Chains A and B, each alone.
Chain A
Amino acid sequence: MDLAIRTFVVFWFLLLLMRITGRRELSSLEPFDLILLIVLGDAVQQGLTQDDYSVTGALIVVIVFGVMQVAVSYLNFRFPRLRPALEGYPIVLIEDGNLIQRNLKRERLTPEDLAKEARGQKIESLNEVKWAVLETSGSISFIPKSDS
Chain B
Amino acid sequence: MAEPPIGIDLARDRDLRGRKYHAWIRRGLMTLIAVIPVLALFNAFGQHPHTAKASSSAATLSVYAPTRLRGGLLWEGRIHITAHRDIKKAILVLGTGWAEGMSMNTIEPSPVGQASDNGKLEFTLGHIQRNKSFILFMQFQVNPTNVGSRPRTTVLYDGNTKLASINQTVTIFP
Contacts and interface: CB of A to CB of B under 8 A. Distances in A.
B2 A51 contact: no
A17 interface: yes
A89 B12 contact: yes
Contacts of A84: 19, 22
B16 interface: yes
B155 to A, nearest CB: 32
B22 to A, nearest CB: 7
B13 A19 contact: no
A22 B16 CA distance: 16
Contacts of A6: 174
A102 B13 CA distance: 12
Interface in B141-164: 144-145, 147
A90 B174 CA distance: 37
B14 A92 contact: yes
Task: Classify chain A's interface size.
Answer: 20 to 34
A20 B23 CA distance: 9
B72 interface: yes
B141 to A, nearest CB: 9
A130 B30 contact: no
A104 interface: no
A96 B26 contact: no
Interface majority SS (helix, strand, loop, mixed), chain A: mixed
Contacts of A89: 12-13, 19
A32 B28 CA distance: 26
A102 B16 CA distance: 10
Contact of A91 (B4, B7, B13): B13
Interface in A23-53: 46, 50-52
Contacts of B1: 96
B2 A131 contact: yes
B8 A92 contact: yes
A12 to B, nearest CB: 12
A124 interface: no
Interface string B1-42: 110110110101110100100110010011001000000000
B71 interface: yes
A126 to B, nearest CB: 15
Given A92-B10, A95-B14, A103-B16, 6 more contacts: A20-B29, A50-B71, A88-B22, A106-B16, A131-B4, A133-B13
28 contacts: A2-B144, A2-B174, A16-B29, A20-B26, A20-B30, A20-B33, A52-B144, A84-B19, A84-B22, A89-B12, A89-B13, A89-B19, A90-B7, A91-B13, A92-B4, A92-B8, A92-B10, A92-B13, A92-B14, A96-B1, A100-B14, A102-B16, A103-B16, A106-B23, A131-B2, A131-B5, A133-B13, A143-B5
Lowest 5 A-B CB distances belong to which pairs? A92-B14, A50-B144, A20-B26, A20-B29, A20-B30
